[in-house]
Structures are given as C-alpha cells and as structure tokens.
Chains A and B, each alone.
Chain A
C-alpha cells in the first residue's frame, strides 16, 4: 500500500530579487495513513514550506508530492482548491475563524464549498461542535470565545469534512500551556480515532506528543523517526539557529 503523503525529492525555491532561497532542499519522506507526525524545526527550517506543500496551498519547484497517490504538482488552482477541500483539514495558529459568522456557520464553510446540502451540513457542523465540547455555543461568534475554545472550533471545522489529513500549524502557539495541552489531547483523540494528523511546530515539548518526528533544518530532513528517541529532540547542530537563510 502506498503512503498517504509522499515527498519524492521535493524542493522549493523562492527568488527574492537577486537572491535565491532554497526553502525545501530535496526532501523525501512518507507519511502513512493513521500516523501522528510532528514536523519540527526552527523558523527558517522550511517547515512552513513543507506545511504549505502538504496542505496543497503551494506546489514544489521540483520533485514530486503525492497525496493519496495523486500528483499535486501537476494540478491547477481549481484542482488544488478541490483537493484542499476534500482531503485536508487545516488548524491554524491564529484559528482563522471568520469573525462575522457564528460557530455553526464557520464549521459549515468547507462543506458549503464541497456542495453539501444546507440541512445536512448544519447537522454535521452541530455534531462536530458537540464533539469538541462547544455544542452549547453554536450560535456564538468567535470573538465571544476564549482562544482555546476558538481553536476547538477550528478543529471542528478541520475534521467536519472527514479529510484524509488533519494539518495543524502551531496549533498551540497562541494558547497558554494549559489550554494548549487540551488542544493537543484533542488531536491525540483524533489520532486515536484513526485520523492522520500532521503537526507543524517549532516546540519540542509539543512535538513529542506525536508518534513520530520529522526534524527539518535548512530545508533538509535531519531526523525522521520515533518521537521518543533521544535524538528526536536534540538538534545535532545546537550552535545553529536556523539562520543563514
């Protein structure tokens, strides 16, 4: 069986004026269905680029990215939008809820673009919000909630479309440690329920909550393996700050 997410020699090059930035440098990796993987790295390590490519928000400059066997690099904008809608559930650091919509409407958005009927998606959104413990606040607006609650709404929104991959970009970055732990345990529950979860973070203490860690530095994979191995959390190049890019 082929991997759900497969990077084959993926590079991403940005040209900024005269300088060329190699944000991802020949990355190859595989993530299987049902895994809970943390992609860790300092700022500038290329983890955001990785997340954008995994999330089909961007395509590789060279190499191949296969998502569930489909070559994302060959897709046009519409196909990318469609695959984001069907295959991916995003959880962002800043929650990225739409402030004018109620929680229910926020959770409905991806299903609206998927063409789910109104009554159907309303029901599914309600179930998803109940699952994250916000069933009583469905008609509130995001601004009426705490950060942790907002992040739970975004988790509900991410999982409501039953995506193949749940992609969490620094999901605890804006939260205090207590609510951060709550959110993480929610992600672990999702994983336990059979979902594939990819967590992007710079924080080792967060990353170790996953099963497996892929550590990036300067656009390269420098560790890929068990989250609980000692090498997973120790950067071999402690002096490096990930700068130079």
Chain B
C-alpha cells in the first residue's frame, strides 16, 4: 500500500466525520493562530522600532553632558576636535539644542512643534533633504542668524506650501524661513508628528535656551557595526575630562535598537511559548479522539487485518490520519492567524500609527511543521494500539 493511498484513506475518514475532526483540530487551530499572531506582533513591533529608529538614524550617537559643577566643561570646539581626531570611527558632529518653547505663526500658537538647534552638518547626518529653499548653512551658525528650516506640516498647514521667505516667531523672536523639509511621514501628517518641526542654527538656539550652554551632541559613526567602539572613544574622552562617569551619557542608537529588539524578542518568545502550550493541549485532544476512533473502528481494523493488512499498514493509516488532522488544523490555524493579524493590524495601527502585526513566513512554516509533528507524535500511541489489536477479537467486537 502506497503512502499516497494511505493519505487518501485518511482524507476520506476525515471527511466522513467533519464535525468531530473540526472539534479535534480546534486546539491546534487556536494554538497555531495564537503563535502566528504573537510572532507577527513581535515582528510588527520590531519593524516599528526599526522604523522609528531609522528616522533618528541607527548610525548616530547621542551624547548628553550633564557636567559636574562648573569646574570642568567640554566646549563645542573640543567635541569637534574629538571627531576630527578619530576619522576611522567618527564621521560628523552636530550640537543639538532642544527648545521647549511654543511656536507662533501669526496669532496661532503651536506647542507641540519640535524645535531643535543644529549645525549645518545635521541635515546631511540625518539624510534630511529640503523640498524648497535651502538647508541651514555654516554662515547661519557662525553669524547666529535668525533663520530656520520648517517641516512640511507647518509649510502645508500654515503657509499653504509657500513657507520659504515668510516668518515664524520663536520665543518672541522673529525667524525667517529659508527652507522646507521634505515630507517624512508616508500618510497624513499630524500636529506633533515628525513633520511638525523647526530647525534653527544651534548658536542661535543656545542663546535662547535656559542655560545657554550646549549640552547635547549628535554624532554619526563611520561603521554602524563599530558602534560600541565609537561609544568607548567618546566615553573615555569625556571620562578623562570629568573623572566622573555620571557627568555624561553616550547612547548609540544601534545599540539601543539592539537592546530593544532583544527585549521584544524575549517577550515574544515567552508569549509564543505560552501559546505553544495550547498546541500540546491540542495534540492531546487529537490523541484522545484517535484513541476513541481506534475503539470505534475496532471491527474495521479486524476486517482489514483479516484481509491481509500488516501491522505497519494499520499503524500507518492511523498515524497519517492523526498527522493529516493536525496538519489540516495547522493550515486552518495559519489562515485564522493571518485573518486575526490583519484585523489586529487595523486595531493596533489605530492606537499607534505605523504599528502592524506582520506574521513571518518562517513562523508560518514552523507552525505547519510543528502541527504535523504533533499529529505524528500524538497519533503514535493510538496507532500502536490499533496495530496491536488481535484480528479475531477485533472481528467479533460490537
């Protein structure tokens, strides 16, 4: 008897009792779909993190200097020198001065807009491009000009797309808009989003800030994979200056992303593990039903044996039936999992823009493999029981 025939026989038996087969499969369906949704959620979160980090640039280091009293400090020239001295590791640098003031356009006051003072190199470092006008230039920084580049949200919403040359008020000062950033979000822009921003020369911004001191820098590294080495270079320099490791903080975006990803993965692993328990429960359900089925079909087994079925054929028939039931459950679970993932995506993306549930092919193939494997494992015992039945007893079984 060929394997394909055993398979067809299994399909026939499964079709003969649809309701029971479906109920048997339910555990597997739930388990597989749960695993798929959870792994999909993990992927979605990872992608989301990657997306938002790549906005910030995974090749960047963020340096914050808290300082230590007033005795020691690091000037911007020293930071620039540090970068220049390590050309193999560090690429560019820009002081970053964040202002928390509100923006005023005409009489409209916007408090969610991100206002950042940066150098002329910043746009290049972050791969930002302007869609109109120009980016900030060295003369803007050195002359502390009151100019700025605005995000496309402000441009479209308040200037009708013609922001260049117009003015905007920051902290009571009037700034001339020299450029508009290219839109970064794919869909609709919103207040407080990535396109709701203003960039001005850091020298100007430093004067407007509360402390008047530049305490944050953004650096880019030559090679992302060398992020750790770059962090060490900057840290050791700052340590030599301050002799206190609490006086500064250096964060590598690549490392931060890695740390976050591994955290997400551990969480997803735990959740998927819990979901996988239901697969085991499902497997036991299959075993249970197969045992009942063996008892119910004792006579059939006796007839088949009398007609010349060897033990391994009977064994094969039941194992294949269990595996087919389970694999079928796996396929349904995959379908349900995908369905739930797309419904889930609608829900989570409404809560957090850009967050999706995206099941991976690997998870799907894995789920299918596991469900088939479960069928074989849990089908083995009932199949063995069936194969061992004595044909005489089985023939007289009612």
Contact = CB atoms under 8 A, between A and B. Distances in A.
Nearest to B391: A57
Nearest to A78: B310
Given A85-B307, A90-B307, A96 B395 contact: yes
Interface string B296-326: 0001101111111111110000000000000
A31 B325 CA distance: 48
Contacts of B391: 57
Contacts of B392: 52, 57-58
Nearest to B393: A57
Given A52-B392, A57-B391, A58-B392, A113 B306 contact: no
A113 B16 contact: no
B13 interface: yes
A74 interface: no
B12 interface: yes
A113 B308 contact: yes
Contact of A77 (B1, B299, B311): B311
B21 to A, nearest CB: 14
Contacts of B310: 77-78, 81-82, 113
Interface in A80-135: 81-82, 84-86, 90, 92, 96-98, 100, 109-110, 112-115, 118
Contacts of B307: 84-85, 90, 109-110, 113, 157
B306 A100 contact: no
A78 B311 contact: yes
A110 B303 contact: no
Contact of B299 (A52, A85, A96, A118): A96
A142 to B, nearest CB: 11
A238 to B, nearest CB: 29
Interface residues of B: mostly helix, strand, loop or mixed? helix
Contacts of B188: none
Contact of B308 (A58, A100, A110): A110
A196 to B, nearest CB: 18
Contacts of B124: none
Interface string B41-68: 0000000000000000000000000000
A55 interface: yes
A90 to B, nearest CB: 5
B1 A81 contact: no
A111 to B, nearest CB: 9
Interface residues of A: mostly helix, strand, loop or mixed? helix
Contacts of A55: 306
A97 B307 CA distance: 11
Contacts of A77: 310-311
A227 to B, nearest CB: 27
A57 B389 CA distance: 12
A100 B308 CA distance: 19
B308 A86 contact: yes
B389 to A, nearest CB: 11
Nearest to A158: B307
Interface string B72-94: 00000000000000000000000
Given A92-B395, A96-B395, A100-B13, A113 B303 contact: no
Interface string B357-398: 000000000000000000000000000000000011001000
Nearest to A52: B392
Among A58, A77, A84, A112, chain B packs the most CB atoms within 10 A around the CB of A112
Interface string B232-265: 0000000000000000000000000000000000
Contacts of A97: 303
A245 to B, nearest CB: 17
Nearest to A99: B300
B12 A81 contact: no
A172 to B, nearest CB: 18
Contacts of A85: 307-309
A92 B304 CA distance: 13
Interface string B1-20: 10001000000110010000
A96 B303 contact: yes
Interface of B: 1, 5, 12-13, 16, 299-300, 302-313, 391-392, 395
10 contacts: A57-B395, A77-B311, A78-B312, A82-B310, A96-B395, A100-B13, A110-B307, A110-B308, A115-B1, A118-B5
Given A78-B312, A85-B308, A98-B303, 17 more contacts: A57-B395, A58-B392, A77-B310, A82-B308, A84-B305, A84-B307, A96-B395, A97-B303, A98-B304, A100-B13, A110-B307, A110-B308, A113-B1, A113-B304, A113-B310, A113-B313, A157-B307
**Across chains A and B, which 8 residue pairs bring their CB atoms closest together, nearest first?**
A85-B308, A113-B308, A81-B310, A110-B307, A96-B303, A84-B308, A78-B310, A57-B392
